[in-house]
Homo-oligomer: A and B are copies of this chain.
């Protein structure tokens, strides 16, 4: 299936291969195009991208260090499974980072940050309108990432990006289960958050960030309990 699609027969610039593979694999993993647990074959990837195994391997090492794929020594490498048991911990961290980054954005944002945030919100809104689930998820993450960037704390921003990435897989699961129908509510909540940031209202930003996070948590939580009833018994 992959050999019929040589990703890029064009000449690539020296050093660009790793980034290309990394970005693409990362997106495919986060969009659930590569299912959790599915095997990753280095030689197949090398053939698909028309390059040797060395740059492929470096991209895989990066993905491993981000926890997106796992390797059994001397054996297989596969897409990491979503950690359902650690989900509670994940939501805790996510909500806290929603709060912290939104707060900081209200404090430290500059005019150009607001433009950037609004641009991402526009993209998100477009994605919602056109019912493009994958775009919705990606642009939503980008929106919140832009807020974190406006908060001017690289440590929080990096951590938050990581959480958002992991969350993209869960959100994908969520939307899939609802046949890609959309919660329009998110768009409105985003607007409120932007308003609070623009007004430099730290308390409102904190409160809205918390509410937004908890709302998502609650929705995904509903999905999971439903799934657990159907699939597994704990």
Residues of chain A touching chain B, judged by Cβ–Cβ distance below 8 Å, are 14-15, 54, 57-58, 61-62, 65-66, 73-74, 83, 86, 89-90, 92-93, 96, 100, 152-156, 159, 163
Question: How far does the Cβ of A229 sit from chain B's closest Cβ, in whole Å?
Answer: 25
Contact of A93 among B15, B83, B156 (CB under 8 A): B156
A73 touches B153 (CB 8 A): no
B15 touches A74 (CB 8 A): yes
Besides the known contacts A15-B74, A89-B152, 20 further A-B residue pairs in the complex with CB atoms under 8 A apart: A14-B74, A57-B58, A58-B58, A58-B61, A61-B61, A61-B62, A61-B65, A62-B65, A86-B154, A86-B155, A89-B153, A89-B154, A89-B156, A90-B155, A92-B156, A93-B153, A93-B155, A93-B156, A155-B163, A159-B159
- Chain multiplicity (copies): 2
The dominant DSSP class at the A interface is: helix
CB-CB nearest in chain B for A91 = B155
CB-CB nearest in chain B for A153 = B89
A96 to B103, CA, bound (A): 14
CB-CB nearest in chain B for A15 = B73
CB-CB nearest in chain B for A151 = B89
A73 to B18, CA, bound (A): 12
A61 to B74, CA, bound (A): 19
Question: How far does the Cβ of A114 sit from chain B's closest Cβ, in whole Å?
Answer: 20
Contacts of A74 in B (CB 8 A): 14-15
Contacts of A66 in B (CB 8 A): 65
Contacts of A14 in B (CB 8 A): 74
Question: How far does the Cβ of A216 sit from chain B's closest Cβ, in whole Å?
Answer: 16
Question: How far does the Cβ of A85 sit from chain B's closest Cβ, in whole Å?
Answer: 10
A152 to B62, CA, bound (A): 25
